[in-house]
Structure 1
Amino acid sequence: MNKLIAQFVQKSARQAGYEIIPRWRLDDFQQALLLSKIFLDANIMCVLDVGANIGQFYSFIRNKVEYAGRIVSFEPISDLCAELNRKLSTDKDWSLLNTALGRDEGAMELNVMKSSVFSSFLQPSVQQTRQHAEYNRVDRVESVSVKRLDSVLTDLKIDLNTTNTFIKIDTQGYDLEVLAGAPHALPLFKALQTEVSLIPIYDGMPTLVDTIEFMRNADFSLAGMFPVSSDDGHRVIEFDAIFVNNRFF
């Protein structure tokens, strides 16, 4: 009965030009709405989730974007992969690769931070973001496998010419290095999401200008930016930036 009432209220609100949004969807509603439109317009069939952590983006696109297709997640940290593997059995269209992605293949030392969401190949810088100091500090160093995305897609037999693909990258200052390992794949992605920084939280990480210039040179246009975190003075530290490929839009 409650579900029927909710459906009636939602339908009535839409007929009147309004949208009823549950509180749990408010924070990222606009981002989910944009991705829903992009996924629909581009007929997205596969999502690459680079830097999966414990599956936050997977949950976001399944539950809020309402994407039901194939998802391939990449996560280099061993204990996080163990946690993800326990979740994989619930979704036949979700797979996981225990690897990092980068410009060159090999092994690299990954800084696993006190809070795993901050883990990075780069060294932390907390001079301008002191509220992150407790969490964005090296807890241990883990040697991880690094592969080039172009090679991985070949191994996975994902043909970007016939499989409309979206890629999300969240590698804490290393996103452009991931794309540097995908010169053949990048022009074929329909759209992508990357994290951009206004206030650096790692030494040597790309700036917002660096990222926008890189994407412009790759013939992608900015579709939306959504704050991820702010400092104590309410200044935005990082955004999720969504770009669309001008070849397809």
Structure 2
Amino acid sequence: MTETSPDLARPFADMRPFLEFVRERGFDPSYVVDVGANRGRWTEMAREVFPRARFLLVEPQPEMRAPLDALCRRLPDVRWVECAAGAREETRVQTIWADLEGSSFLPHPQADRLASGEQRPARVRRLDDLLAEDGGRVPDLVKLDVQGFELEALAGCPSIFGRTELFVLETSLFAFLPDLPILREVIEFMAARGYEVYDLAGYIRRPVDDALGQLDVAFARRRGHLRQHDRW
């Protein structure tokens, strides 16, 4: 009888246990970037797992100034920038959801929504430029949760591919918004840049029929620390 590995008992598709898992395998990031930081809750959790890491947070919504400023005062190794990350420096229209957590750049601008404030302009910057302004360091871990804008954000940081060890990306199995890339497209994008699916760190089902809707997918460098061999 084959002995069951203790790792099989690890919670599946759960962010914190996943981060603890890679830490146990020797992944100890010194610099982490959180794109789509929102209120900073992911960073707070990740910093508990990686207490020696320095964090750069990217978040465009002005409603998050108070919680993110408070987080940075409390944790001096955390810094945030008020903008979105994209392929180029520009201003784009962001659609704001009531919970401030699902806001997205993908819905097309509409005059009535702009007039009501449901849509508004936001500054977009290249992540490569933000990293250069933050000392030019290459992040070991990049988390992106930007409601379908992940590939646009990644297009703005070509310098870190092949150097960053781990990306955690929110992906969708259905095109819930216009021009939203689905999981297959994200996998192809990352594979072309030297990254393979490594694990799942979260999931959510869509309410309409309980089908699997979104996955937080961890992509590891193809021959990096976490993928040093192909043994079973």
After TM superposition, the score normalised by the length of structure 2 is 0.82
Distance 1:27 1:247, change over 3 A: closer
| Residue 50 (structure 1) aligns with | 35
**SS of 2:210 mapped into structure 1:** coil
Please give the residue correspondences for 1:51-66 in structure 2 after superposition, counting only pairs within 5 Å: 51-63=36-48, 65-66=49-50
Query: 1:216 deviation in Å?
Result: 0.7
Please list every run of 5 or more consecutive structure 2 residues that lacks an aligned counterpart in the other structure: 109-115, 226-232
Deviation digits for residues 119-148 of structure 1 (CA, Å, limit 9, x no counterpart): 010118xxxxxxxxxxxxx96222211111
Distance 1:95 1:215, change over 3 A: same
Paired with 1:111 and 1:84, the residues of 2 have a C-alpha distance of 21
How many pairs were matched up?
211
The AA in structure 2 aligned to 1:35 is L
| Residue 230 (structure 1) aligns with | 205
Root-mean-square deviation (CA, aligned residues, Å) is: 2.6
| Residue 214 (structure 1) aligns with | 189
**Is it true that 1:159 corresponds to 2:133 in the alignment?**
no
1:93 to 66, 77, 82: 77
Please list every run of 5 or more consecutive structure 1 residues that lacks an aligned counterpart in the other structure: 1-16, 125-137
2:121 to 136, 143, 156: 143
Paired with 1:104 and 1:35, the residues of 2 have a C-alpha distance of 30
**Is it true that 1:179 corresponds to 2:163 in the alignment?**
no
| Residue 111 (structure 1) aligns with | 95
Q: Which has the larger radius of gyration?
A: 1
Query: 1:66 deviation in Å?
Result: 4.7
Equivalent pair of 1:101/1:178 in contact (CA under 8 Å): yes
| Residue 128 (structure 1) aligns with | none
- How many percent of aligned residue pairs carry the same amino acid? 24
Query: 1:68 deviation in Å?
Result: 3.7
**SS of 2:118 mapped into structure 1:** strand
1:192 to 167, 172, 180: 167
Equivalent pair of 1:104/1:146 in contact (CA under 8 Å): yes
Query: 1:32 deviation in Å?
Result: 2.3
**SS of 2:39 mapped into structure 1:** coil
Where has structure 1 moved over 6 Å in runs of 4 or more? none
Q: Which has the higher contact order (CA 8 A, sep 6+)?
A: 2
The AA in structure 1 aligned to 2:219 is F
The AA in structure 1 aligned to 2:136 is I
Deviation digits for residues 135-192 of structure 1 (CA, Å, limit 9, x no counterpart): xxx96222211111111111111332xxx52100011000000110111122211111
Q: Identify the range of structure 1 (179-188 vs 208-217) with the bigger mean alpha-carbon deviation.
A: 179-188
